[in-house]
A and B are shown apart, each in its own frame.
Chain A
Amino acid sequence: MAREISYKAAISEAHVQSMEMDPNVFIMGVGAADPTGIFGTTVEASKKFGPARVFDTPLSEATLTGAGIGAALCGMKPVLIHARNDFLLLTMDQIVNHAAKWNYMAGGQFKVPFLIRAIVGRGWGQAAQHSQSLQALFAHIPGLQVIMPTFPYDAKGLILSSLQSNHATICIEHRWLYEKSGPVPQEPYTIPMGEGNIVKKGKDVTVIAISHMVLEALTAAETCSKENIDIEIIDPRCLRPLDESLILESVKKTGRLVIADTSWKSCGISAEIAALASEKAFEFLKAPIIRITLPDAPTPCSSVLENAYYPNHKNIAEAAKSLVLGKPAKNDNDIFSHKIEREKEFSGPF
């Protein structure tokens, strides 16, 4: 039977193996070498390689990002970690103006193998500045790779892959995935950038789900199967480059499309995927596209508001059913009717 390890253990293993394979790989970040080691993902690397290759940094996100670029230009393979997605906003200039463009502006003479990890801190009242899911901001930018691994297998393979590529990669990790386990080969392996994953085959409705929403989609697929509706779940895993052909193949097969993202709707990844389907598979669509996203509001703190804020498997299941049964599509913004009692997914204090 295949070995099963947690998502965070898979990330940790990817770090350790990449550092064993390549002496130029190093890890830095605020808290990267503290005892908790970024939710446990850097503890092993810290133990094994010590402070010369895994070190804490000042709270200077912009400069540390630039330092990662500069080190990468000089042959290193840096990993910079942020405990929250939101902190990436302090470093947008370095990511967008420098990491994404230095090679291009140099006429393609440079390599920038640089991995930036950032965590989506959903839950326990993290509120508006500690829970954002900002993939769309980065997926907009030519020159960046944006990955959002869902399963432990994806996390390890994509992290190993990112450090073997010549580009800066933004890895956005949803913390509700950290304790989930799944099969992960012991030996190092890579997953090509831009290669999506058919999580579940199906014939009636395509659900393109991002990160944690893949798990919600799997639950939705179980619900729907009881009503003989067969959902196909595609996890792009990588948002830039995006696996267009995998998405289009599925849409052409089912003719129905639901997109479930961990972020907002306006100008988001779901808009991009919907546009892709209407541009390149319009004649195959049997029904309007439905998007399941966050409501257009910052994240509230109160647990009652927080629970209402996040869409879940019920929204996905209802959307899929409405497309197959031809019922008028419910207003997909009406997520508030789908509050669920969460199993104990995550609790504080951090």
Chain B
Amino acid sequence: MQTYTVTSQLALEIYKSLVRCRKFEEKIVELYPEQQIKCPTHLSLGQEGVAAGVCAALTNGDKIFSTHRCHSHTVAKGANFKPLMAELYGKVTGCCRGKGGSMHFLAPEVGAMGASAIVAGSIPLAVGAALAAQMKGEKTVSVAFFGDGAVEQGPFHESLNFSALKKLPILFICENNGLATCTPISKRQAHGNISKRAEGYGLPGIKVDGNNVIEVWNAASGAAQRAKNGEGPTLIEALCYRWKEHVGPNYDHHLGFRTKEEVETNIKKCPIQRFLDTALEKNWFTLETAKKIEDAIQNELNAAVVFAKESPFPKEEEIFAGV
């Protein structure tokens, strides 16, 4: 696999993206007990390395399709906080005008084309976006984000086959966090080696450490280049860890399917801390710069919360708008 060079500018962009993903969801954890966010929220805390790494390899014209756990994908693709936060509050200023909620984030202006709450549901849509790009002769790629559970669904396999057949410009990004709600992958798949599935369909499969953002970015950059060269799709399996419960702001080790020690050990492998350590070591940027980025993002986020809380709810007639 080709190794790309990280510039300081790219490193700053990735760090900013990581922190935006993290802080957005930490804010949800903080605000959720107020019970004003009245929709199920599936947090990707701990998994941000995949979203930020992949999206750093994309351009604005590239399109992503996401899942019920869609916050970080949409944020990393460059969405503004305000419409996302307003959507969580069910406001008409939300990215879905209050029709979607946490599981259906989108920002078409930056290529985030929406998210499906049906496992594997949006993979075929990403295939269609790739087909459109190919038919129009556009040099763009499409990205399907999905989890390890989606690999158990038929459309995953159909999509790999069709994309390989047509050499579609698409990246299949599997965030393998090893869990479907509380059920480990060992109870769902004969072997959990997801990247190996690609070979049978005639496309490359790559396994990366989702906590290593540079490794994710590098693999995605190669896959995007390959796709744009007309060489077809790539499956990237990124190993990652879900810190929080399947849905909601809390930890879930008390349920007994994993231990507190396991969760704590994995939190120590935080992709953001790891990236920051590397960045400082390699002098991509200084700690002072990092703090400035964090503060700016905190301000942006606080403003988004005010915006969300102060925005009006949709009018009841809006029920029929957009049917």
A residues with a Cβ closer than 8 A to B are 26, 52-53, 57-58, 60, 62-76, 78, 93-94, 97-98, 102-110, 142-143
* Contact (Cβ within 8 A) A63 B118: no
* Contact (Cβ within 8 A) A97 B124: no
Closest to A109 in B: B108
The residues in B between 116 and 165 inclusive whose CB is less than 8 angstroms from any CB of A are 116, 118, 121-133, 135-136, 142, 154-155, 158-159, 161-162, 165
Which chain A positions have C-beta within 8 A of B155? 60, 62-63, 66, 94
Indicate whether B322 reaches chain A with its CB closer than 8 angstroms.
yes
B residues with a Cβ closer than 8 A to A are 63, 65, 94-100, 104, 106, 108, 113-114, 116, 118, 121-133, 135-136, 142, 154-155, 158-159, 161-162, 165, 321-323
Known contacts A60-B158, A93-B118, A108-B322; A67/B135 CB under 8 A: no
Query: Among the listed B118, B128, B154, which residue makes an inter-chain contact with A70, where contact means beta carbons less than 8 Å apart?
Result: B128
Known contacts A58-B161, A63-B158, A93-B121; A106/B100 CB under 8 A: yes
In this complex, the member of B98, B116, B126 whose beta carbon has the largest number of chain A beta carbons within 10 angstroms is B116
Query: Among the listed B124, B125, B127, B135, which residue makes an inter-chain contact with A52, where contact means beta carbons less than 8 Å apart?
Result: B135
Which chain B positions have C-beta within 8 A of A63? 123-124, 127, 154-155, 158-159, 162
* Contact (Cβ within 8 A) B97 A107: yes
* Contact (Cβ within 8 A) A105 B100: yes
* Contact (Cβ within 8 A) B99 A105: yes
Q: How far is the CB of A102 from chain B (nearest CB, A)?
A: 6
* Contact (Cβ within 8 A) A67 B131: yes
Which chain B positions have C-beta within 8 A of A93? 118, 121
* Contact (Cβ within 8 A) B124 A58: no
In Å, the complex CA distance between A26 and B135 comes to 9
* Contact (Cβ within 8 A) B104 A71: no
* Contact (Cβ within 8 A) B162 A57: yes
* Contact (Cβ within 8 A) B125 A98: yes
In Å, the complex CA distance between A78 and B136 comes to 13
Q: How far is the CB of A308 from chain B (nearest CB, A)?
A: 37
In Å, the complex CA distance between A124 and B75 comes to 56
* Contact (Cβ within 8 A) B125 A70: yes
Which chain B positions have C-beta within 8 A of A106? 95-96, 99-100, 104, 106, 108, 114, 322
Known contacts A67-B124, A69-B124; A104/B132 CB under 8 A: no
In this complex, the member of A68, A70, A143 whose beta carbon has the largest number of chain B beta carbons within 10 angstroms is A70
* Contact (Cβ within 8 A) A58 B116: no
Known contacts A71-B128, A98-B121; A110/B108 CB under 8 A: yes
Q: How far is the CB of B62 from chain A (nearest CB, A)?
A: 11
In Å, the complex CA distance between A68 and B129 comes to 9
Which chain A positions have C-beta within 8 A of B104? 105-106
